[in-house]
Amino acid sequence: MKHQLAIVITTLLLTACIGSKVVVKPDSTFDAANYQRFAWMHEAITNDGRNSAYYNLDRSIRKGISAELVKKGYQQVAKEQAEFLLDYSFFQSVSPDRGGIISPRDESNAAWDNGSDINGTSLHNHYIPAEIQRGNLSLSISDAKQGHEVWQVTMTKVIENQMEDEAAVKKSVRGLIPKLLRELPAK
């Protein structure tokens, strides 16, 4: 399970910049005039040898988000001095395929289509999954003094390839983070 989650997280990062959907929570109350200094709400993951994939991913995400916020004019400080705190989470959602002319409705029909023609036209020749998997990355910003959330953004992407390496993840983070923070006002 742990390995599968790492694969999903990796895949999210690798494909997040292509065809992803970014949604800022509508009732976000972040006002850049009130915030200058930030810190992370929770400590970074430590590398104990058992979770190196998570450790590397956590480090890449934190570094990317922090760098993007600094580019926007914010300052990273110790948690005690911060005006706002950052937290992020990953999760996966799976939904059954809705069916249709080229989509199977159940697992037994999810198969390789070898280019069969419908009305003389070849519609597809790739694997059609019976389930749609989506990777989700959510970033929350909370007021450090009041403790309530003032801004949240979630990025969702259909997972297409679950087998990628760590170098590709780091490269993807560079494209993912600016898109995730695009709507956050600069200082």
- Convert the pLDDT of each residue in 152-162 to its tens digit: 998 877 655 55
Residue 91 lies in a domain: yes
Domain range for 39:
2-95+134-180
Q: Count of domains in the chain?
A: 1
Residue 165 lies in a domain: yes
CA–CA separation, 104 and 162 (whole Å): 20
Q: Is 77 within a domain?
A: yes
| CATH number for the domain harbouring residue 158 | 3.30.160.670
The rounded percent of the chain whose pLDDT value lies above 70 is 61
pLDDT for 14 equals 46
Report the alpha-carbon distance of residue 91 to residue 18 in Å, rounded.
18
Report the pLDDT averaged over residues 14-33. Answer: 76
Model pLDDT, residue 112: 43
Domain membership of residue 106 (yes or no) is no
Name the residue with higher pLDDT: 168 or 103: 168
Spatial CA neighbour of 175 closest among 19, 16, 9? 16
Greatest mean pLDDT range, 101-105, 133-137, 139-143, 176-180: 139-143
What pTM value is reported for the model? 0.69
The yes-or-no verdict on residue 52 having pLDDT over 50 is yes
Say if 153 falls within a structural domain.
yes
Using alpha carbons only, how large is the chain's radius of gyration in Å?
A: 20
119 within some domain: no
Q: What pLDDT is stored for residue 160 in this prediction?
A: 57
Tens-place pLDDT, residues 53-108: 778 888 888 999 999 999 999 999 999 999 999 999 877 677 665 555 444 444 44
State the average pLDDT over residues 139-168.
81
What residues form DSSP beta bridges with 155?
A: 22, 137
Average pLDDT over residues 130-140: 75
Q: Which residue has the higher pLDDT, 179 or 10?
A: 179
What's the number of CA atoms in the CB half-sphere (13 Å) around residue 32? 10
User: Is 123 inside a domain boundary?
Assistant: no
Mean pLDDT of 37-56: 87
Residue 57 covered by a domain: yes
- Three-state secondary structure along the chain? CHHHHHHHHHHHHHHCCCCCEEEECCCCCCCHHHCCEEEECCCCCCCCCCCHHHHHHHHHHHHHHHHHHHHCCCEECCHHHCCEEEEEEEEEEEEECCCECCECCCHHHCCECCCCEECCEECCCCECCCEEEEEEEEEEEEECCCCCEEEEEEEEEECCCCCCCHHHHHHHHHHHHHHHCCCCCCC
Q: Angle at CA 102, nearest 5°, toward 101 and 107?
A: 110
